[in-house]
Structure 1
């Protein structure tokens, strides 16, 4: 997608307006911070409401006005009250109003007199990444991968470091190397708790194996990687199965394939080895400004993959009372999947 980044907001807005018009919707009310940022370049620190129509406008809290003036490509006005917003909508003759699915009940109630329709038009637009977005995701990946190498997990394990210490140091290294934040709270799970896909780092000396699921943000865009450091023959056996599912799933990713088909490839391989019941989550997901975006690489998601989608592939096997193994990478969808980053799958 060859679009100059200074024109990217207009490009997305025009696409969304066309889709709203096709559904006879006059405007969409946007309250999700990342969606507002996606369309305007302004990331709210308080609250804001973007009214996306032919001449879009953002209602901004007074404490955020300077921030919005410096960053928004869309006209802004100071938010005064919901009553003023409703009055504005009526003046603009907005009747059929789209809203986001995560709009709070309190805000929904303020606009209930309009003909409201829940729309996924923005999340659908966000599935396809621009060249600029892809570069930011790749940079976030580079920072994260460099930081994990610098951490040296095996050396930490030999020194009897604690899980929480390693998670904290990895977050520090990512910031030191250029990240603005973690994509999510780092998972640093060892020993028995590695069988918990979302374990929380403990005040506990590193056991084996060590599963690290982590990522960072660069200019708002996320990375997401998992590596499992293995130490025993049984762990190596399970790791080889997970890696085979990981590699074959990536091979199945291409423009035109369905998300559910990719999940099935990974799931079938793990099932053939007898561990189907131990693969307890989807094979992956999209990501961008949010760590989880559409589509999901799951059996139920029939989304047809398109060029410039960015996806994770993260099969895992979890043996309760023993350990868990997960290997995760990000890929860019094209004629075939392009692996993002060059961090070895086995470290």
Structure 2
């Protein structure tokens, strides 16, 4: 953690940085519980928390070189520490700070003439490439979601509602001692034409279509997987569109590797779908980064900047959506390698 913090402080030319969100604090400390702030000043690391979780904090960090402050007012404690250490500025990421905390911190720092430096994406450059431990957590999350998807597929049948399937997914996650990394998307029939459909009471019918977009979180790391299944008979148009989407995804998975422009992935997938005549029916980007958040950098968008780096974790998820009829999306989470990729999700297609 200290090495990561030093890189950030050096990059932004400041002596202090404050993290208040559980996503940031868990990434840096490994603690998967919230309720505390992490303040780094020069060569000191401060944990600031309420009295309610002081015991838990001291137990978790007992073998680490931390200064622990259990106080009634977290933001006043931050100001007090900065004054004691004679620090004149504080770096924060406003994206992860709620409005009330931001206002209180800003007011108190202004009163003490301490400059507040506001930058988004502070941890992005560190989070974008995964460590060995992070990769193992991602692989486990992907293994679990793949097994859950396979189990649910075997149980799909007419009469089940979307919400029945939704809670079956959550039940299976619970049996694996994990939680969902986002609200499951179970879309059947014409609902599958809505990429972010909210699971409803619609019941599956004979020869129906079911799109499942699900993910779980293991040790703080997310997985993301989408499959589109046809129950019973599939007509020629449905099969053609499913084949186009799968060909689009396969073209990316076959060639993607470190060193390629990030924008290449979207162009490769989109060119195939556009050539098939469905240019206006692919209505989202081709994928996104995955880690401690279900959506993080990089975005596999047409205008994406930068190149793929070894050990980036991303999704590849092209789709075609025919309003009023049906939609098809196929998504896998992958790990970028020097000469290709490793597909981490393995649910049957």
How does the TM-score come out when normalised to structure 2?
0.90
Residue 340 of structure 1: aligned partner: 344
The answer to whether the 8 A contact 2:149-2:347 is kept is no
Task: Give 4+ residue runs of structure 1 displaced > 3 Å after superposition.
Answer: none
- Out of 67-76 and 26-35, give the one that drifted further: 67-76
For structure 1, which runs of at least 5 residues remain unmatched after alignment?
A: 1-9
Q: Deviations over 1:122-174 (max 9, x none)?
A: 12211111111111111111111111222235x4224x111101110121112
Report the secondary structure of 2:69's partner residue: strand
- Tell me which of 2, 14, 23 is aligned to 1:25: 14
Alignment of 1:116-127 (within 5 A): 116-119=116-119, 120-127=121-128
Residue 91 of structure 1: aligned partner: 84
Q: Cα gap change, 1:79/1:301 in structure 2, threshold over 3 Å: closer, same or farther?
A: farther
Using the alignment, how far apart are the partners of 2:7 and 2:77 within structure 1?
27
1:101 equivalent to 2:102? Answer: no
- Tell me which of 310, 314, 320 is aligned to 2:313: 310
Residue 262 of structure 1: aligned partner: 265
* Cα-Cα RMSD: 1.7
The answer to whether the 8 A contact 1:252-1:265 is kept is no
Q: Cα gap change, 1:309/1:179 in structure 2, threshold over 3 Å: closer, same or farther?
A: farther
How does the TM-score come out when normalised to structure 1?
0.90
Using the alignment, how far apart are the partners of 1:328 and 1:74 within structure 2?
42
Alignment of 1:1-347 (within 5 A): 10=1, 13-45=2-34, 47-53=35-41, 54-72=43-61, 73=64, 75=66, 76-81=68-73, 82-102=75-95, 103-112=97-106, 113=110, 114-119=114-119, 120-153=121-154, 155-158=155-158, 160-176=159-175, 178-207=176-205, 208-230=208-230, 231-335=234-338, 336-344=340-348, 346=349
Q: Cα gap change, 1:69/1:123 in structure 2, threshold over 3 Å: closer, same or farther?
A: farther
The answer to whether the 8 A contact 2:32-2:220 is kept is no
Residue 6 of structure 1: aligned partner: none
Using the alignment, how far apart are the partners of 2:17 and 2:317 within structure 1?
34
1:69, CA displacement in angstroms? 2.2
The answer to whether the 8 A contact 1:253-1:262 is kept is yes
Report the secondary structure of 2:23's partner residue: helix
1:264, CA displacement in angstroms? 1.1
Q: Cα gap change, 1:66/1:232 in structure 2, threshold over 3 Å: closer, same or farther?
A: farther
Q: Deviations over 1:217-253 (max 9, x none)?
A: 1111111100000333211110111111111122342
For structure 2, which runs of at least 5 residues remain unmatched after alignment?
A: none
Using the alignment, how far apart are the partners of 2:47 and 2:319 within structure 1?
43
Using the alignment, how far apart are the partners of 1:74 and 1:290 within structure 2?
27
Report the secondary structure of 2:32's partner residue: coil
Q: Deviations over 1:175-234 (max 9, x none)?
A: 21x242011111110001101111111111114210000011111111110000033321
1:258, CA displacement in angstroms? 2.0
